[in-house]
A and B are shown apart, each in its own frame.
Chain A
Amino acid sequence: MSLTISVASGKGGTGKTLVATALTRILADQCPLIIDTDVEEPNAALFLPVSNLQVEPVHRLLPVIDDDMCTYCGICAEVCEFGALTVLPQQVLVFPELCHSCGACAGLCPERAISEENSLIGQVETGSINGMGQLVAGRLNIGESLSPPVIKAAKKKQAGADLTIIDCPPGTTCPMIEAVRDSDYCLLVTEPTPFGKHDLALALEACKLLGVEAGIIINRWQGEDNGIIDLAERFGTPILGYIPFSFELAKAYAQGQDPLKAMPELGGVLERVFRQIKESRS
């Protein structure tokens, strides 16, 4: 039975990439696939020995107006819910940053004067992690706004993998939803601060909406939970593990070094987390 675990958080900087890449390391014998869907800031590859990187472009469709066929009737602008088209007496203006590539303008133009052309918005990188499986990372081009199409393209590379770990973007809106959707389990990484707690509540809510089972791992643990245990109980979500606060770990991780060497007990923590996730699935 295949298993897909997404690693998400709500708040940024809680340690999603640390957990996702360290999990990949300890599960190396199962040849996992790690997908970095934090396409605005893809960093997973910085923390794993990746080689043979292949790059594929990601496009999305944008409307192109044929001036010879256009009668400037204004229907395209009328049907665009996103305000991405404006029709002037002799010209149609397209605002790519507002376009959602839904195709309504092209499909509903009575003159068939609108076609759609590919526009480059990012790339998907695929590589092998030396002795540890595969890595796929989406990367949004700088200046582009829409990350979900790049996340979708990265996730399409999942086909056939037995064990997939998804490193998710922060937040709880469309990019995070796109990343966590269809996972078997969502591992939420939080920190025991009021910020961590506030954003964890939103992430738990998002998992509920998606119908994805969730578990919590508390990072930078120093013995004070700041209300996180209460919050977890309220949602009926288990706390699967604690990663102690450690300057050594922070320093090693900052340099892209193997966190399991800087904090030997991290491996045990993550193995127990993984075992609990497996048990909850059976």
Chain B
Amino acid sequence: MKEILLLSGKGGTGKTSLTASFVSLAESCLVADYDVDATNLPILLRPSPVSEHEYSSGKKAVIDQEKCTHCGLCEMVCRFEAITDEQVDNLACEGCAYCSRICPVEAIDTLPQPSGRWFEGKIHPDRTFFYAELRPGEENSGKLVAEVKNAARLSCQQQNIPLLIADGPPGIGCPVNSALVGVDLVVLVGEPSISGLRDLQRIHQLLKMREIKSILVINKYDLQSDWAGAMEKWAQQTQVDYAGKIPYDPLFIKAAREGKTPADYPDLRALIAPIWQRILEKAIGATGDGCLSF
């Protein structure tokens, strides 16, 4: 089984629209959305739910005011400034339970909090799609990403599906590090701008550290063709394979409004199909020169 993950560092470069397009072009695949903070792939793929699972990212401290002797020890040991005058700030509490363990009168309990849900769904034509929703204000999104990933990979094995296509979160931190576990190929979705290139360079450095292969797609290249050129040059210099470029097209937004993927429109399909082919070849490693060379 091969896992392909779309990342960009910078948000809003078109990861979700491209993920949906690749899903539409792939012959057989399973799909996952690891952007549990802002789960947008279901907007395009419109899954019908199969099962729903509660998720708890961790515990929160609860103080029994009747037992509390106001000694202040809990407030003193808390590194997260989550306790003030024996009141717990749930948004600051990370659930480490240090307070509960050190309280001399056992007035503090830590209770698991529901912090989100993950789902198995079906999309056309009879494909399995795993996604999740983390509640606003929650933490440990990396842990929920891991749950979605484990469920998706297990389902791939059980159904004997050769390919998992996943939409990734922005950034380079906790959820991205979790999303990268076991990935065979990262599709870097670059936006031609000074910040798009900077962020791509940061995510690429992370991939190098973790020895994960990547291939570049430049999206909206005609918005700033100079920076698109700079991005191509950077890819050449750093030996990142290049799968191709896509112009800015209002159809991407129209597709989202209609619950379609950009590849559902013939012109865009013709444009994205060869890019997908290059990505697939790179992922399978079937041909050595399947990617555009400079």
Show the binding face of A for B, using Cβ within 8 Å: 10-14, 17, 39-41, 43, 46-47, 79, 81-82, 97, 100-104, 107-108, 140, 142-147, 169-175, 177, 181, 191, 193-195, 198-199, 202-203, 205-206, 209-210, 226, 247, 250-251, 253-256
Query: Within residues 187 to 232 of chain B, which ones have a CB less than 8 A from any CB in chain A?
Result: 191-196, 198-199, 202, 205-206, 209-210, 223-224, 226-227
The answer to whether A170 and B38 have CB atoms under 8 Å apart is yes
The answer to whether A142 and B38 have CB atoms under 8 Å apart is no
Interface size class of B (residues with CB under 8 A): 35 or more
Query: Is B241 interfacial (CB 8 A cutoff)?
Result: no
Shortest A47–chain B CB gap in Å is: 8
- By beta carbon, the residue of chain A nearest B17 is A195
Shortest B294–chain A CB gap in Å is: 22
The answer to whether B202 and A104 have CB atoms under 8 Å apart is no
Q: How far is the CA of A247 from the CA of B59 in the complex (A)?
A: 47
**Interface majority SS on A: helix, strand, loop or mixed?**
loop
The answer to whether A14 and B173 have CB atoms under 8 Å apart is no
Residues from chain A with a CB closer than 8 A to the CB of B226 are: 255
Residues from chain B with a CB closer than 8 A to the CB of A107 are: 77, 98, 102
The answer to whether A173 and B139 have CB atoms under 8 Å apart is yes
Can you give 16 A-B contacts (C-beta < 8 A)?
A: A11-B11, A11-B12, A40-B171, A41-B9, A41-B170, A46-B194, A79-B98, A101-B79, A103-B98, A108-B101, A147-B173, A194-B257, A198-B40, A205-B135, A206-B137, A210-B91
Contact of A40 among B58, B141, B172, B192 (CB under 8 A): B172
Query: Within residues 110 to 162 of chain B, which ones have a CB less than 8 A from any CB in chain A?
Result: 110, 134-142
Shortest B150–chain A CB gap in Å is: 15
Q: How far is the CA of A30 from the CA of B139 in the complex (A)?
A: 36
The answer to whether A193 and B256 have CB atoms under 8 Å apart is yes
Query: Is B10 interfacial (CB 8 A cutoff)?
Result: yes
Given contacts A46-B198, A177-B91, A198-B43, contact A145 B134 (CB under 8 A): no
Query: Is B95 interfacial (CB 8 A cutoff)?
Result: yes
Contact of A199 among B40, B58, B134 (CB under 8 A): B40
The answer to whether A254 and B173 have CB atoms under 8 Å apart is no
**Other A-B pairs, 4, CB within 8 Å; known A198-B40, A206-B137, A209-B137:** A100-B94, A171-B141, A177-B137, A254-B223
Query: Within residues 245 to 262 of chain B, which ones have a CB less than 8 A from any CB in chain A?
Result: 253, 256-257
The answer to whether B224 and A169 have CB atoms under 8 Å apart is no
Residues from chain B with a CB closer than 8 A to the CB of A145 are: 142, 173-174, 177
Contact of B97 among A81, A203, A209 (CB under 8 A): A81
Residues from chain A with a CB closer than 8 A to the CB of B176 are: 40
Shortest A173–chain B CB gap in Å is: 5
Q: Closest 5 interchain pairs by CB?
A: A12-B11, A13-B12, A254-B193, A102-B96, A171-B37
Shortest B153–chain A CB gap in Å is: 20
Shortest B261–chain A CB gap in Å is: 13
Shortest A107–chain B CB gap in Å is: 6
Residues from chain B with a CB closer than 8 A to the CB of A194 are: 40, 43, 256-257
Residues from chain B with a CB closer than 8 A to the CB of A144 are: 173
Q: How far is the CA of A256 from the CA of B80 in the complex (A)?
A: 37
Contact of B38 among A103, A146, A172 (CB under 8 A): A172
Contact of B172 among A11, A12, A103, A142 (CB under 8 A): A142
- By beta carbon, the residue of chain A nearest B256 is A194
Residues from chain B with a CB closer than 8 A to the CB of A199 are: 38, 40
The answer to whether B191 and A13 have CB atoms under 8 Å apart is yes
The answer to whether B10 and A13 have CB atoms under 8 Å apart is yes
Shortest B161–chain A CB gap in Å is: 27
Query: Is B19 interfacial (CB 8 A cutoff)?
Result: no
Q: How far is the CA of A138 from the CA of B9 in the complex (A)?
A: 16
Given contacts A104-B98, A195-B43, contact A173 B136 (CB under 8 A): yes
The answer to whether B10 and A41 have CB atoms under 8 Å apart is yes
The answer to whether A195 and B16 have CB atoms under 8 Å apart is yes
Query: Is B13 interfacial (CB 8 A cutoff)?
Result: yes
- By beta carbon, the residue of chain A nearest B174 is A145
